[in-house]
Structure 1
């Protein structure tokens, strides 16, 4: 059962700080480290750590960061045959500042912007052989549209609309799993989510757009989702958050791996909540994602 993730790969440059500096101000930080990241790569690692046969389709630069990211994915068990090194282009980079467990991020897309529709068409047969396709919005939107046009109605699609960008309704129609957070969800529904009832209203709007199983992540409040029969709310787990980087990616990747493995939506969401909660108790992105062996059913 193969999951193909089409998306971004970044080198994360992470530093912790006691406060965010003002414009023109220099302050001291601590705990600097480099870490493999990018929403696509993070979700691929989550899938692989949960036991799924996972393949990554992406582009990196022909630089030391690109090779490092390839090595990291291979070490996590992600197949990298569909990752291309783009000559003369830098690998994507994210500058991440962590304050009190929350993060602020600046992205430079680099080679991620070079993953184009023609690259997708070359691998159409591979995409159609997958058990599931995972997408995010850190690659060119026309590439996302191309993937969806190739596989929609033939292979289940997991679409995590982050960072949130406007999407045509015809693209959303027929998407199997759609996983915005409450802020991203507002762009697609017009619903301000303050309560669980608001979240259920937003789920209904998404379903009316043709999305089969919408899920809205609500941070500490857990997840609201449609399980095929009813709108459901699952509370989050209370943990001591150290770094929220990749929490959403951990949720999305775990959800996909569990669904492909044959779990029900309710079972898959429960596992995804648990994995996401564990990830925020650790620093970094991919290294913070737990293994399936660390999970409890």
Structure 2
């Protein structure tokens, strides 16, 4: 399997379960607190590695305890950390996550992720160009995402998960091969309110017309629509009882990339990514919730 470089964020998730989301000014009791390694970039890297891909993470953490913990955690899952930098005098990114009835709300402080600059990635230009695929998200500075797309466009397959959703230059979107928004994020790029499968297919066609080769729109419990290179496809979601959706999208994105690079067809890769995501939401946490390749093959 080829080499995947994931360029993105690494955070320590501080997770609290509640029966409901508190109102402003209200204090209420939680139902359990835990720390969990996270960050969309790091989560996707772990998903790739658990699927058997030769995975390298490119990003930054602080020189605090959280930074060392994240580095050790990635290495423990088989992610290569030779490109990961510890930034002195800077805090590691953190995410405060409230989990309620299987859904989550998140407050993010980027910390060292904000220092993943264009200059930093230009120092790894040859490494990026030698990869079989590069994965991007939007928890690092946008100018760095733009620089990566400009550097890699037409040379290395680019997987972009546009989360958290931010406006993007149309020229940059034309450089993306695999684009994986959810139905809410997709609205920013298409101006389409998705209430039905027909709406989702309409949005998919708009993304294709923008020059994206393989758009995929995840619809949560309603499934997914995607272009497989020949036609638009709708697949229903796998029915499970969700406990924590924190890493669902990252699990899907990472598994999809790993399977595509492994030579799977788009249809098979999407099926396996749906399986992985369905398993992940039945478990608490982020990286520890992501299943391995053996589990999704059963």
TM-score by length of 1: 0.99
Which residue matches 1:95?
Answer: 96
Q: How far did residue 175 of structure 1 move?
A: 1.1
Which residue matches 1:54?
Answer: 55
How far, CA to CA, are the matches of 1:189 and 1:155 in structure 2? 25
Listed as ranges, the matches of 1:74-93 within 5 Å are 74-93=75-94
Q: How far did residue 259 of structure 1 move?
A: 0.1
Displacement over 3 Å in runs of 4+: none
- Secondary structure of the 2:27 match is coil
How far, CA to CA, are the matches of 1:8 and 1:175 in structure 2? 19
Q: How far did residue 114 of structure 1 move?
A: 0.5
Q: How far did residue 62 of structure 1 move?
A: 0.3
- Secondary structure of the 1:224 match is strand
How far, CA to CA, are the matches of 1:169 and 1:192 in structure 2? 20
How far, CA to CA, are the matches of 1:53 and 1:166 in structure 2? 31
Which residue matches 1:34?
Answer: 35
Alpha-carbon contact 2:49-2:77 (below 8 Å) kept: yes
> 1:267-291: CA deviations, max 9, x gaps?
0000000000000000000000000
> 1:79-125: CA deviations, max 9, x gaps?
00000001110000000010111101000000000000000110000
Alpha-carbon contact 2:6-2:134 (below 8 Å) kept: yes
How far, CA to CA, are the matches of 1:156 and 1:78 in structure 2? 20
Q: How far did residue 296 of structure 1 move?
A: 2.6
How far, CA to CA, are the matches of 2:54 and 2:36 in structure 1? 23
- Superposition RMSD on alpha carbons, in Å? 0.6
1:19 equivalenced with 2:24 (yes/no): no
- Secondary structure of the 1:207 match is helix
How far, CA to CA, are the matches of 1:27 and 1:191 in structure 2? 37
How far, CA to CA, are the matches of 2:12 and 2:31 in structure 1? 18
Which residue matches 1:288?
Answer: 289
How far, CA to CA, are the matches of 1:237 and 1:296 in structure 2? 15
Which residue matches 1:143?
Answer: 144
How far, CA to CA, are the matches of 2:224 and 2:261 in structure 1? 20
Q: How far did residue 19 of structure 1 move?
A: 1.1
Listed as ranges, the matches of 1:1-297 within 5 Å are 1-296=2-297
Aligned residue pairs, count: 297
Alpha-carbon contact 2:150-2:175 (below 8 Å) kept: no
How far, CA to CA, are the matches of 1:13 and 1:257 in structure 2? 28
> 1:224-255: CA deviations, max 9, x gaps?
00000110001001101000001000000000
Q: How far did residue 216 of structure 1 move?
A: 0.0
- Secondary structure of the 1:228 match is coil
